[in-house]
Amino acid sequence: MTRWLLVISLFLILSGCSSDSSSQYQSQDIIPEPVSIKVSEGKFELDRQTKILGDTANTEVRNVANQLKEKLDSATGYDLAITSEQQSQNVISLHIDSDTANYINSEAYQLTSAEDRVSIEAPSAAGLFYGMQSLLQLFPEQIYQTDYTLVPQNVEWTIPSVEIEDYPRFKYRGMHLDVARHFFPVKFVKRYIDLMAMHKMNRFHWHLTEDQGWRIEIKQYPKLTEIGGWRDSTLVGHYGTGIYDGERYGGFYTQEEIREVVDYAQKRHVTIIPEIEMPGHASAALASYPELGCIEGKDYKVQTTWGIFEDIYCPSEQTFTFLKNVLTEVMQLFPSKYIHIGGDEAPKKQWKESELAQQVIQREGLKDEKELQSYFITRIEEFLNKNGRQIIGWDEILEGGLAPNATVMSWRGTEGGIAAAKQHHDVVMTPGSHLYFDYYQGVPETEPLAIGGFSPVKEVYSFEPIPEELTVKESKFVMGAQANVWTEYIQSGNKVEYMAYPRAAALSEVTWSPKSKQNWTDFWRRLQTHFDRLDVLDVNAAQHYNGKIPVFPEDIDAW
Ligand code: ACM
């Protein structure tokens, strides 16, 4: 057999389709897979006269209606009317159903389509929004076309008659983006949020501060972005090459820009969780305000290479005042209940050698530097709790004792998450084994430079957020899962998309769809349609699992 024949047969075997149906448009290839979908005879056809029907006096309903109109108009070239006048024919109806007992949770929706109308009912605007995402996926992929000047001809804007019942398995369905190792402009961040929303993901963890750059304007401390937002040079190639580009690099978001992104995300039912790293990963902050470090007179620098650095905030009253002031501005910008305070990879060497840090250990009756970190985080937690917020931290915050109300983000495997859930603390699973989207997704020699590791789509899809070690009661503390996109080796938005998609599509199904509906072979089949949508959206998705382009069985073995 030639390679091509092998490819084609592999596609047919994996897709489980006859050659006839594999070439047909799969009109119910929704990702993430809904809880229940029934397809029947007949179809609904969108035309110029179709109206979007909804309670336009309700701002949230109007927001969903406007977004639906924008999407449908830009794909079709129509100028659809939005109306609140009841009518039964040729409408797409968006309705908030006040009888919440009809729904499993607040993000649920019901979507029915028949020849004369489409109806989305939900207990909340979020549910309507997710119903809209499913509706869009029922149309041909050209529905994602956003350029009015490129309205496709000869597309029938029809969807099959369906009855969909749907709701998410987990309330936390997250994506993270590190904008510190490399900086991504507002336009890209919005696009990233749009793609999340398309996949019914609802938490964006914005990693804003790091050793290599401070990316959020803080009015009271302008040097954070004047100095901390910039580095003199950047490592070229893999860690350890010792080669640097010698170019000043940086950037930051103004508070106005942050407000704009928060508002944009809110309209897409995405909550942004900002991360302000402490006590480690603090080089950029210390380069800006060296008096916050433990070593007097040290010439702290914004780092130009990757890794873990010893620079750490000193646990002085001056540092706590600084962090409280920073967090006050952060809270003014981000309405999120959760603020991420980092807590990972904080070497204790400078605390061991610092008179001040040792005095705090003595004064507070602490055992060691790990307990000092716990004291540090607990003080920050007290401050945030007093202001009605909750902290999330990386799983190192378990060491030395968890702060009383902390949520743990389990990244060094699921062990930290298990330990936290057993202590009845909320948990978000984000283990490196499955959900680090900075890892390779193919044979490294054939891939763009990545940090290492190996996490192909199939591996992501196999992730189960509830570990077997937890009892049913303990498992309720697992709020969901998140993938992390660290950007040491990701310099452009294009490459972020390559690393994130389609892996994020797999994660969306892990976090949204019921376990009983998760099936790799069927996901892979639906993913083929999804690649077409991503293509229309011009997303630079990795193509390893795209059966329409050469994928060789020996490569699959290697995955
Ligand atoms: C991490 O990857 N250091 C949370």
> How far is residue 405's CA from residue 401's CA, in Å, rounded to a whole number?
11
- Is the pLDDT reported for residue 552 higher than 80? no
Q: What is the average pLDDT across 352-374?
A: 98
pLDDT band at 27 (very low <50, low <70, confident <90, very high): low
- Is the pLDDT reported for residue 108 higher than 90? yes
Taking the centre of ligand 1 as the mean of its atom positions, its distance from the CA of residue 216, in whole angstroms, is: 20
CATH architecture for residues 172-281+311-518: Alpha-Beta Barrel (3.20)
Taking the centre of ligand 1 as the mean of its atom positions, its distance from the CA of residue 411, in whole angstroms, is: 6
- For residue 430, the ligand 1 atom closest to its alpha carbon is 4
Q: What is the pLDDT of residue 457?
A: 95
Q: What is the pLDDT of residue 502?
A: 97
Task: State the span(s) of the chain assigned CATH 3.20.20.80.
Answer: 172-281+311-518
- Probe target for ligand 1 pocket from 209, 306, 409, 486, with the most ligand atoms within 8 Å of CB: 486
- Probe target for ligand 1 pocket from 177, 275, 344, 433, with the most ligand atoms within 8 Å of CB: 344
Task: State the span(s) of the chain assigned CATH 3.30.379.10.
Answer: 36-166
CA dihedral 162, 168, 169, 173 (to 10 degrees): 140
Taking the centre of ligand 1 as the mean of its atom positions, its distance from the CA of residue 279, in whole angstroms, is: 14
Least confident of 145-154, 156-165, 421-430, 486-495: 145-154
- For residue 345, the ligand 1 atom closest to its alpha carbon is 3
> Which has the higher per-residue pLDDT, 148 or 99?
99
Residues 6+ apart with CB under 8 A from 476: none
> 170 with 464: CB under 8 angstroms?
no
Q: Which residue's CA lies nearest to atom 3 of ligand 1?
A: 344
pLDDT band at 150 (very low <50, low <70, confident <90, very high): confident
> 299 with 225: CB under 8 angstroms?
no
Cα–Cα distances in angstroms (integers) from residue 417 to residues 272, 474, 509, in the given order: 21, 11, 21
Q: What is the pLDDT of residue 510?
A: 98
pLDDT band at 19 (very low <50, low <70, confident <90, very high): very low
Q: Which residue's CA lies nearest to atom 2 of ligand 1?
A: 411
Least confident of 66-70, 399-403, 552-556: 552-556
Q: What is the pLDDT of residue 559?
A: 40
Q: Which two tokens stand for residue 168?
A: 């998410």
pTM value is: 0.94
Length of the chain: 559
Q: What is the pLDDT of residue 442?
A: 87
The average confidence (pLDDT) of the chain is 93
Sign of the C-alpha dihedral computed for residues 386, 390, 396 and 400 taken in this order: positive
Q: Are strands 158-166 and 109-113 parallel, antiparallel or unpaired?
A: antiparallel
- Is the pLDDT reported for residue 149 higher than 50? yes
> How far is residue 326's CA from residue 322's CA, in Å, rounded to a whole number?
6
Q: What is the pLDDT of residue 550?
A: 54
pLDDT band at 362 (very low <50, low <70, confident <90, very high): very high
**Fold that domain 36-166 belongs to in CATH:** Chitobiase; domain 2 (3.30.379)
Q: What is the average pLDDT across 35-45?
A: 95
Taking the centre of ligand 1 as the mean of its atom positions, its distance from the CA of residue 432, in whole angstroms, is: 9
How many percent of the chain have pLDDT more than 90?
A: 88
Q: What is the average pLDDT across 167-187?
A: 98
Q: Which two tokens stand for residue 128?
A: 């309507």
**What single letter denotes the amino acid at residue 447?**
E
Q: Any residues with Cβ below 6 Å from ligand 1, and which?
A: 344-345, 394, 411
Q: What is the pLDDT of residue 445?
A: 87
